[in-house]
Structure 1
Amino acid sequence: MRRFAHVGAVAATTAVLIPALAAFDHAQAPALTAPLEDSDDAAPLIIEEITPTAVEEDSTVRVTGTVTNTTDSPLDEVTVRLRYSATPFGSRSELDDYADHGADLPATGPTATVDGPIEPGESADYTVEADAEDLGLGAFGVYPLSVEAAGPSGGALGEQHTFLPYRGGGSGPDAVEIAWVWPLMGTPQRAGDDVYLSDGLSESVGPEGRLGRLLTAGAQDDAITLEPPATPSPVVSEGDAGQDAASGDDPGDAPRATGDSDRVPVTWAVDPALLDDVARLTEGPYDVVTDPGEAGGDNDDAAPATESMDPSLNAQVWLDQARTALAGDPLIATPYAAPDIAALLRADLGADAEAAVPLGQDAVERILDRPADDAYAWPAGGVMDGATREFYAGQGATRFLLSDAAMPARQWSTATPTAEASLPLPGDEDGTALVADSRLTAVLGRDSTGPGQAALAQQRFAAETAMISAEDPGTDRTIVAAPPTDWTPSAAFAEGVLQASDDLPWLDPVALDDIKADPDAEPQRGDLVYPERALDRELSGDHLDEVAGIRRDVRLFNSILEDDADPFRPAILRLEAAAWREDDDLAATTRALVAHNVQADMDKVRIIPGEPVTLASKTGTIGILVANDLEDHTVRLKLSMLSTNPERLSVEGGNGTMEIGPGGKTTVYVPLSARINGRTVLQLSLHNTEGEPVSGEQALDVNATGLGNQALLISGAGALVLVVALAPRAVRKWARTRAAAAGAAPDPDAASGDGDGNTADTAGTATDTGDDSGTPAPKDDDKGGA
């Protein structure tokens, strides 16, 4: 008990020590202080290994690494030395401060000379050793340690800060339990079902890729390998899929190369949409957008340029190995695409949230040949409000993986509380919160892929867990290690933290399923809260408004499909993923791509343009050809035809429902009626069965050139009446013309002066001539006829 009291008492000492370290004479020590994980390829000093991780009283501390000459001249007589403090950290906050900012440490340890000279740009190895008993360390605790490199004149070349967990000569504090959640998750990779934002996923599931490293490290099984087979796997019939050709056993039942007793329990957490993305890579050619930025530009209507890719062998191997690795371990899954449930419920998009759960469950079982445990829920960011809790509880969840931001420790607590806590659920049900330590999540999320970063990250993990174990010795506690969902560890670090969970004396690995909350225990955490910063980080209203617009187009498209098909549901859910909180630009690109895909499929149900129509009679029937170019869906819809001049040309029928199978065409016959000759434009469009338009309008010219039999009879009768009316006049005119011609000849009687008769004849002619200058009245026509 005395050493634990010492650990608790050093807080005041360290509080005094840190300011003193900050004022340490920089002329006596290297001035280059770097944060724990800030080194890069050009770092002058790299730590590659620190052994042992847990230092005993009789241990020899050994630090190995490389020194790189980053100057323009050769370096000779380069020395590397250890610096440390014999006062341990008093709290996790002090440890974090040292990790972030470093400090000049008062005690100097052993020094080693590096073989030289070191030419510019070249590196040399170093090893520095120190006996633990010579360092003057006290009881169990975590001590600050730094490694410095100096040139021949004593000038600083580089420095790295790290930690020295010291167990001392005793047994140390009681071990805390640690439960691992191992994420196979990430940002959605597809827009439409066949269009990928990049080809990065195929690389990620390869042997050196992010998901490849996570799978092999989490499996802890030498038989799980992602190296492509030397020869292609034999084709297996559907009935034999999932069984070994020789033994007929399910591959998930195959024995592991390392015994289960040697494995640290892990609970796999998967995003079904990511599994779906990987599975699609194996099915056939797929398209990759060559320039995603173009899709979100001004010309959104243009199809983005894509490149066709062959099926991914990496994806095939990864899925095969994932089915084996995950076969016997606990498995939890988010709803499809890990949507931002809180934001969806707030935006009245609860139907999408509801749809994401069964879609995710089906995807996991279809792809991994096993179900996920639906008793677990992992809300976005590990936080949830009351509506989100009610939603998950309504889906059957009783165990909630949360961050300590959602259920923080009570104010009076001086130690990291145990992870499990009772969580009331709707209907007076009791649930369990499994609270992940956010500081440990941040430690796991630090970069471990650069030179020397894995060793530093490994040492930080050991230091952080040692501090937790020393906070409240003698009390049974559990910590949940839940790395970030986009975790990108190096293979060495991912494998190392699991091995350390088993090797470090202050840790005891357990399965997440084994953690049970005691409803009668005194609560160490407060009630469920939804932090203001969590609300601020939700998917923006602008993003969801854009998605809602796409959803309206999708609803219209779905309205013409048979069997309640909803082919764009996965794409919409991918747009609602919480991952888009962190990437507005790629979210906008993905929205534009999905919107384009929806419109492209809508355009596949179309009216095939025809030639202008000539109608040579009063009535007639025309045929309109309608095509369904969709490959997988039957459509039901109506053809609408409107005349722009119904007084001239009217549509007499049509507008019935038609059904067209995938890739099919049909002709719709529509009767027309013309009243007047001339050109009329018909507007054609397609509608769903409710009358909503599902296509743009097309114009069809119809030219009426004939009037029909009845019109001809009427015109003939009119012509006959006109002939009958004009014939008598024409006869009289002809008679007068003949008479006038006869009277103009020489007449012997005319010279004798028979004026009475001739005077009368001349007047009548004059009268007739005058009468012929206009249309005769009906009665005048009768006299002439007599």
Structure 2
Amino acid sequence: MIRKAALLTLLTAVLAPAGMAGTAVAASNRHAAGSAAATAAAATAVAATAPADPLVVEKVTPEIPREAATPITVSGAVTGTPQSSVQVRIHYSPGRPFATRAELATFLDDDGYVTTNWRTKIQVTQLDQSGKLPFEFSVTPQELGMSRAGVYPLAIEVLDAATGQRVAIDRTVLPYVPADAEQIPKVRLALAMPIVDRPHRADDNTFMDDDLRGSVASGRLANLLKLVKTSHETVTWFVDPALLEDVRLTSAGSYTVKTSDGIRRAAADPAAGKWLDDLRTALSGKPVLATPYADPDLAALVHNKLDEPAVAAIRRGSSVASDVLGREVPTSTTWPAGGRLDRDTLDELAMSGVKSVLLSGDAFLSPPPDDPGTAQTGTPQTGAIQTPQSNAPSSTPDAALRVDTVAETPVTALLADPALGQILGADVSAAGGAMLARQRFLGETAMIAFEGAGQPGQAGQAGQAAEPGRAQPTRTVVAVPETRTWNPNPAFVSSLLQAAAGAPWLRMTSLDSVKPTRAARSDFSYTDQDRQAELRHSYLGTVRRLGQEADAVSTVTTEQDQLFHEAILRLTASAWRTDRKRAHAFAKQVESSIEDRLRRVSVIDTPRAVAGADGQVPVSVANKLDSDVTIKIRVTSDDESRLAIVDGFYETEPITVLRDRTQLVNVPVTVPGGGGGEATISIQVLTAEGKRYGKAVHVTVRTTDYTGIAIVIVGAALVIMLAAVVMRVLRRRSRRAFPFGAPDGGPAPPDATPSDAAPPGQAPPGHVRAVPVEVDRGDKPPA
């Protein structure tokens, strides 16, 4: 496609006269390229070679002709060199509407579809002094050969009058549905639109940018609000709870913003509060669904065994959205990143209560045909034209399928039409772009209706005309923008919805009304490329670790504070698939905040001492939080040969440490071999459930060999005591050797009777009382 556009650009520039060469280059680039890359190249060429688009078709009315004789007015403008002469003519194919959507796409992409007729409406007309030529002409459906209901090609072309070379061409389509047509087929159209943004907060108290302020005032979020106010009441809106919560916080008061320039306090944003109030009002009475909190990469979480955050995001999403919007907002329908998932992810979602998933139209593999004449949808086809260059299907697949899962009830897979999604997200900033996109949307949906009707010349769902008297089943088509960070043109989308609501073959409906028509006949087409687009395994490893630390922080306090759970969910946002640098910055900020919290419950790591072969080591834990904590303490030895703990470790029962207090625990230890020296013990704080709380602290313990010295001292004391006892025994025995009392009135013999005892205060009979002898200090006592 790009090569053809480049070749056409070169040939047109060479063949066109000097006066129109620049506009020819711009026009050929604009109208010959269908891909996004070619569109970008065309914009560059326009800016470099021409000040204005050479052809702008501003209006085609009516957009849906209903009468053969009613004029169709086509108006616009040609721009080029002043006074140069041009021709304006139209191309059409009388009596031949498009047979398939693939044909329609081929025509609009200028990829080989040839219109059979053309008619000149303006002959050799000069541009004015400013180089412009406004034009307007009328033509009836009868003149264009519209003989029956269908979607017809229509092209407006500008030629250089001097050379006959094409300067520019605009291609569009015209759905023609005669008012007297019988049994106009009906298609139920369900539209879903996202109000989603990437996260702006890392931890709960720190914004990593202040972009919301501009977005709600005059940016993307302001555009979304305008569209919500004017949208049809059946449009289903997906809201991101994390975004709603961020907007509410910026409006509630001052907040902290951390950027590469530093940290600052931002004042409350009144515009954010007004945006949120207006959104609540605009969504009142309209279908609203919540994405899982922060719109996570569900497939990546499931594939990396992070099922718990995935389930938590689904449940938290409904809770937050309901709280902010003041109404019940379910998460029963999930819109996975990229509109694609695999069987494992779907099973996990089903077990979490999800009832339906919104997927891209190509989310399933092509089912095997039932027979040689069966299409991908399982329905026979006739001679529908297949165009390899176009991604448009020859027959539109069913919009809803029933998919069995490990849960008891099946899940409904809602398949969004890719072509309609591209139109919703189209860049319509160029003049006439909105009209062309709107006409294509109407043409695509009309083709879907005619597929089901089986009208002559159409590739119907049954491949043949409808049987007389047999009611045709109502078909359903789902349309969503291709990207969830959608920045719509409110005026364009509103006009498109208004035109769709008035189309005779469309009936607007809500997403939850779409029911599966049959069971899925093939598995999901989740490719290696889809897996490579997921959040990386290494990054999610960091998220896993931070999640474990956040759980510890939350469960250790008596109040069970959920401080970092939402912060962890924001780290899993699917927006980080294409913004890894910002994702790592968010993770770093969350990690810093968690570590700061962990440090407030800490082990005092001053050295300890223990004497002897057995003893106790005191371990202290300080609580600097503003609430009580319940923890366990686990102690192990780093070197069992120098310092051992009975049974290899010591772990306390859950203990409560009051806020701003310190808890002391004595740990019994032994010193193998009676040796002395230094050893270290590892002290790990645990939650009451036994999960790690922070990192282990290694404390030095000095052991002293007092055991041998103590044995010597005790032994020596025992010897002395025994010697004293022996001496006393010997002395007593020597005294018993005398049978009589001591001479000169010594003590009475041991066998003296109590009657011999003296009265109290008197000396016994025969006792000689000792008389004290005064001795001068320093003199020797008498011999």
TM class by shorter chain equals 0.5 to 0.7
Does the CA-based 8 Å contact 1:335-1:357 persist in structure 2? yes
* Aligned length in residues: 623
Question: 1:120-139 residue pairs with structure 2 within 5 A?
Answer: 127-133=134-140, 136-139=143-146
Distance 1:97 1:284, change over 3 A: farther
Deviation of the 1:437 alpha carbon: 1.1
Does the CA-based 8 Å contact 2:342-2:524 persist in structure 1? yes
2:367 maps to none
Deviation of the 1:176 alpha carbon: 2.0
Query: Residues 494-540 of structure 1, C-alpha deviation per residue, up to 9 Å, x if partnerless?
Result: 21222122123332212233334456xxx7x7444333254454433
Distance 1:23 1:279, change over 3 A: closer
1:290 maps to 259
Match 1:314 to one of 271, 284, 308: 271
Amino acid at match of 1:511: S
Return the alpha-carbon distance in structure 2 between the equivalents of residues 129 and 447 of structure 1: 25
Deviation of the 1:479 alpha carbon: 1.0
Question: 1:366-765 residue pairs with structure 2 within 5 A?
Answer: 366-407=323-364, 409-410=377-378, 412=380, 414-426=394-406, 429=409, 431-449=411-429, 453-473=433-453, 475=472, 476-484=474-482, 485-518=484-517, 526-532=521-527, 533-558=529-554, 560-606=556-602, 626-629=622-625, 634=629, 636=631, 638=633, 659=656, 664-666=660-662, 668=664, 687-689=685-687, 690=690, 692=692, 694-695=694-695, 697=697
Deviation of the 1:190 alpha carbon: 2.8
Does the CA-based 8 Å contact 1:203-1:314 persist in structure 2? no
Match 2:92 to one of 81, 86, 92: 86
Return the alpha-carbon distance in structure 1 between the equivalents of residues 576 and 62 of structure 2: 38
Return the alpha-carbon distance in structure 2 between the equivalents of residues 691 and 141 of structure 1: 68
Distance 1:439 1:346, change over 3 A: same
Distance 1:363 1:93, change over 3 A: same
1:266 maps to 235
1:215 lines up with 2:225 in the alignment: yes
Match 1:338 to one of 276, 279, 295: 295
Aligned-partner SS, 1:268: strand
Deviation of the 1:636 alpha carbon: 3.8
Amino acid at match of 2:424: L
1:62 lines up with 2:42 in the alignment: no
Distance 1:134 1:499, change over 3 A: closer
2:130 maps to 117
After superposing the two structures, state which structure 1 stretch, 310-319 or 419-428, moved more. 419-428
Query: Residues 21-53 of structure 1, C-alpha deviation per residue, up to 9 Å, x if partnerless?
Result: 999988479454124683659462174732326
After superposing the two structures, state which structure 1 stretch, 139-148 or 467-476, moved more. 139-148
Distance 1:428 1:357, change over 3 A: closer
Return the alpha-carbon distance in structure 1 between the equivalents of residues 692 and 176 of structure 2: 75
Amino acid at match of 1:164: V
Distance 1:671 1:278, change over 3 A: same
Distance 1:574 1:633, change over 3 A: farther
Distance 1:194 1:171, change over 3 A: farther
Amino acid at match of 2:272: A
Does the CA-based 8 Å contact 1:560-1:635 persist in structure 2? yes
2:304 maps to 347
Distance 1:606 1:220, change over 3 A: same
Does the CA-based 8 Å contact 1:202-1:312 persist in structure 2? yes
Question: 1:181-192 residue pairs with structure 2 within 5 A?
Answer: 181-192=192-203
Amino acid at match of 1:439: A
Does the CA-based 8 Å contact 2:685-2:696 persist in structure 1? no
Aligned-partner SS, 1:180: strand
Distance 1:447 1:192, change over 3 A: farther
Deviation of the 1:131 alpha carbon: 0.8
Match 1:201 to one of 201, 209, 212: 212
Return the alpha-carbon distance in structure 2 between the equivalents of residues 392 and 132 of structure 1: 55
Amino acid at match of 1:328: G
Deviation of the 1:93 alpha carbon: 2.4
Query: % of aligned pairs identical?
Result: 27
Return the alpha-carbon distance in structure 2 between the equivalents of residues 605 and 392 of structure 1: 37
1:77 lines up with 2:75 in the alignment: no
Distance 1:379 1:620, change over 3 A: closer
1:745 maps to none
Query: Residues 201-236 of structure 1, C-alpha deviation per residue, up to 9 Å, x if partnerless?
Result: 333333x32232223313327xxxxxxxxxxxxxxx
Does the CA-based 8 Å contact 1:86-1:107 persist in structure 2? yes
Query: Residues 80-101 of structure 1, C-alpha deviation per residue, up to 9 Å, x if partnerless?
Result: 7655431254432233344445
Query: Residues 696-743 of structure 1, C-alpha deviation per residue, up to 9 Å, x if partnerless?
Result: 648799999xx9xx99xx9xx99xx9xxxxxxxxxxxxxxxxxxxxxx
1:165 lines up with 2:169 in the alignment: no
Does the CA-based 8 Å contact 2:76-2:134 persist in structure 1? yes
Distance 1:693 1:472, change over 3 A: closer
1:238 maps to none
Query: Residues 752-784 of structure 1, C-alpha deviation per residue, up to 9 Å, x if partnerless?
Result: xxxxxxxxxxxxxxxxxxxxxxxxxxxxxxxxx
Return the alpha-carbon distance in structure 1 between the equivalents of residues 636 and 315 of structure 2: 42
TM-score, scaled to structure 1: 0.65
Does the CA-based 8 Å contact 1:654-1:670 persist in structure 2? no
After superposing the two structures, state which structure 1 stretch, 574-583 or 27-36, moved more. 27-36
Distance 1:274 1:477, change over 3 A: same
Unaligned runs of 5+ in 1: 1-17, 70-74, 119-123, 222-262, 292-303, 722-786
Amino acid at match of 2:535: L
Distance 1:638 1:155, change over 3 A: farther
Aligned-partner SS, 1:539: coil
2:52 maps to 44
Return the alpha-carbon distance in structure 2 between the equivalents of residues 596 and 451 of structure 1: 50
TM-score, scaled to structure 2: 0.65
Aligned-partner SS, 1:352: helix
Query: Residues 381-413 of structure 1, C-alpha deviation per residue, up to 9 Å, x if partnerless?
Result: 333433333333323333443332235633745
Deviation of the 1:599 alpha carbon: 2.5
Distance 1:409 1:541, change over 3 A: farther
Amino acid at match of 2:395: A
Unaligned runs of 5+ in 2: 365-375, 382-393, 455-471, 721-783
2:281 maps to 324
Aligned-partner SS, 1:688: strand
Aligned-partner SS, 1:409: coil
RMSD: 5.1
Deviation of the 1:178 alpha carbon: 0.9
Question: 1:247-258 residue pairs with structure 2 within 5 A?
Answer: none
Return the alpha-carbon distance in structure 1 between the equivalents of residues 432 and 661 of structure 2: 65
Return the alpha-carbon distance in structure 1 between the equivalents of residues 164 and 119 of structure 2: 16
Amino acid at match of 2:694: V
Query: Residues 460-494 of structure 1, C-alpha deviation per residue, up to 9 Å, x if partnerless?
Result: 32332233233333643221112232222112222
After superposing the two structures, state which structure 1 stretch, 380-389 or 434-443, moved more. 380-389
